[in-house]
Structure 1
Amino acid sequence: MIDVLLPIFSKPIEREYEGWLVRGIEKYFQELGIFAVVWAVSPIIESTWPADEHFFTSGKIIGLQMKKASLCIRQNRNPDFTDLHWNLCDPKGQFELIQKTNEIYYCLPTFINRKWRDKALEHCIFWRPTTAINYNTWYDNPRAKDNPYNKISVHPNALRWGYFYEKVMACDIGVRLSMDFTPHHYLSNLQRSITQELRLIEQMEENITRGLYLIYLNI
């Protein structure tokens, strides 16, 4: 069996992966002497900005949404990388909201073995979905021919850490903020804007319902 896919005690859950990844990011920047901060997203903000962690460096804010690694076990054989996948259906609506939020990336760990936790950053794919809707994402599964996300290992939107941060430095990833416009300001404005949009939609639905009700009375 491939060692990196060998469960020890049990398969890690999302909050374990999240802690290992955050620790890896912090260590990376500490060793380089580069300012960077990573901190958790509150449940209130996550409902409109669906990330587990804020990541702020080089004047840019990025969202990181962690998903645990899973294996599709087939009988009479040891699992390999064709069995490695991530389920993106939970919670409902999160996938579609991430599609619309360019600065949020899925963090997809490529290991099951806890022994590799100190190297979580190197064994993680930072990925954004395209416009296609499919909640089961595979590392490299030729059996899932009809799934547009059946080969994330070489997907154009899938980045390993080094290239991911290089694109952050090049301003290709993240929302650039000014000295006066902090991450708090950005997220507050974003949440306010989304809340206003939701209210408008609710008002439109109420007006439509009221109009139908009046038509019914007239009849």
Structure 2
Amino acid sequence: MIDVLLPVFSKPIEREYEGWLVRGIEKYFQELGIFAVVWAVSPSVESTWPADEHLYMSGKIIGLQMKKANISQNHNPDFTNLHWKLHNPKGQFKLIQKRNEIYYCLPTFLNRKWRDKALEHCIFWRPANAVNYNLWYDNPIKGNPYNKISTHPNALRWGYFYEKVMACDIGVRLSMDLTLHKYLSDLQTSIRQELMWIDQMEKNITRGLYLIYLNI
């Protein structure tokens, strides 16, 4: 048995993973002496700025979209059966494909004992051009382009992810011409344009999105 994949009490839900990951990121930067702050999006703003939380650090913007970990039913808990589902909400996947600064966060554990190590047990991943809503950690018998996320070229562990942020390969750098306010305004405009073909019920398609703001 792989202990990290054994649920305790129940399988964690997405908002639990979100909280664990945010605490891990905050602790990481606190230990480095880098300013960071997390704040929630007001319900009155959420209809136009579709996020649940912001993670703000001086310098760059990255979006993080959490998805919970799943283990196939009637199978032993091993990494070939670890997967993530991107079907819902409808339209979210294609929107993230078009926003280079947004990454999916894919936890690789279901055991709550690992919650304080969520940052180390998470994959930061962007979809390629192919459209498929089922991701597998390592299951080559599944016939889709995302059946081996563990070694996918767009899948990064936290250390490498942050190194690419420092190298200016990830994120949107703010400047006098591109302020945080202008970035959020432009993002809202872009999202509204993408959502014109989606009905009213599906307008909250980036639920669970975080922002990281870094100064390198």
Q: Sort the TM-score into its range (normalised by shorter chain).
A: 0.7 to 0.9
Partners of 2:194 and 2:102 in 1: CA distance = 20
Separation in 2, partners of 1:60, 1:141: 35
Cα distance between partner residues in 2 of 1:4 and 1:20 = 15
Match of 2:172 among 150, 175, 196: 175
Q: Which residue of 1 aligns with 2:114?
A: 116
Give the C-alpha shift of residue 172 in structure 1. Answer: 0.4
Shift of 1:79: 1.6
Higher normalized contact order (CA 8 Å, seq sep 6+, divided by chain length) = 2
The 1-side partners of 2:88 and 2:192 are apart by 22
Q: What is residue 92 of structure 1 aligned with on the other side?
A: 90
Residue aligning to 1:81: 79
Cα 1:45/1:28, change in 2 over 3 Å? farther
**Conserved? CA contact 2:49–2:188, under 8 Å:** no
Q: Residues 39 and 55 of structure 1 are in contact (CA less than 8 Å); yes or no, is this contact kept in structure 2?
A: yes
- Partner secondary structure for residue 62 of structure 1: strand
**Which protein is bigger by CA-based radius of gyration?**
1
Query: Is the contact between residue 134 and residue 149 of structure 1 (CA under 8 Å) also seen in structure 2?
Result: yes
Counterpart of 1:147 (choices 144, 149, 168) is 144
Q: What is the alpha-carbon distance in structure 2 between the residues aligned to residue 152 and residue 193 of structure 1?
A: 28
**Contact in 2 for aligned 1:52/1:63 (Cα 8 Å):** no
The superposition leaves residues 124-175 of structure 1 with CA deviations (integer Å, 9 ceiling, x where unpaired) of: 000000011110100001220x210000000000000000001011110001
Structure 1 residue 87: deviation in Å? 0.4
Query: Structure 2 matches for 1:198-209, cutoff 5 A?
Result: none
For residue 187 of structure 1, what is the aligned residue in structure 2? 184
Contact 1:139/1:151 (<8 A) preserved: yes
Deviations 1:52-89 (A, max 9, x none): 544443511000000000000235xx220000000001
Amino acid at match of 1:170: A
Q: TM-score, normalised by structure 2?
A: 0.82
Question: Are the counterparts in 2 of residues 58 and 168 from structure 1 also a CA contact under 8 Å?
Answer: no
Aligned CA distance change for structure 1 residues 28 and 54 (closer, same or farther; 3 Å): same
Q: In the alignment, is residue 44 of structure 1 matched against residue 47 of structure 2? A: yes
Deviations for 1:86-131, whole angstroms, at most 9, x for unmatched residues?
0001000000000000000000000000000000000000000001
Q: State the partner residue of 2:204.
A: none
RMSD between aligned residues: 2.2
| Contact in 2 for aligned 1:54/1:64 (Cα 8 Å) | no
**Distance in 1, Cα, partners of 2:48 & 2:156:** 26
> Would you say how many aligned residue pairs link Structure 1 and Structure 2?
195
Question: Bigger CA drift: 123-132 or 180-189?
Answer: 180-189
Match of 1:23 in 2: 23
Structure 2 runs not aligned, ≥5 long: 198-216
Cα 1:11–1:197, aligned 2, differ >3 Å: closer, same or farther? Answer: closer
Tell me what 1:160 maps to. 157
- TM-score by structure 1 length? 0.81
5+ residue gaps in structure 1? Answer: 202-219
Higher helix share: 1
Give the deviation of 1:30 after TM superposition.
0.3
Per the alignment, do residues 71 and 184 of structure 1 end up closer, same or farther by CA in structure 2, a change over 3 Å counting?
Answer: same
Amino acid at match of 1:134: N
Q: 1:196 to 1:149 in 2, by over 3 A?
A: closer
Cα pair distance change 1:195/1:2, threshold 3 Å: closer
Q: Distance in 2 between matches of 1:93 and 1:37?
A: 29
Identity of aligned residues (%): 80
Determine the C-alpha separation between the residues in 2 that align with 1:197 and 1:116: 37
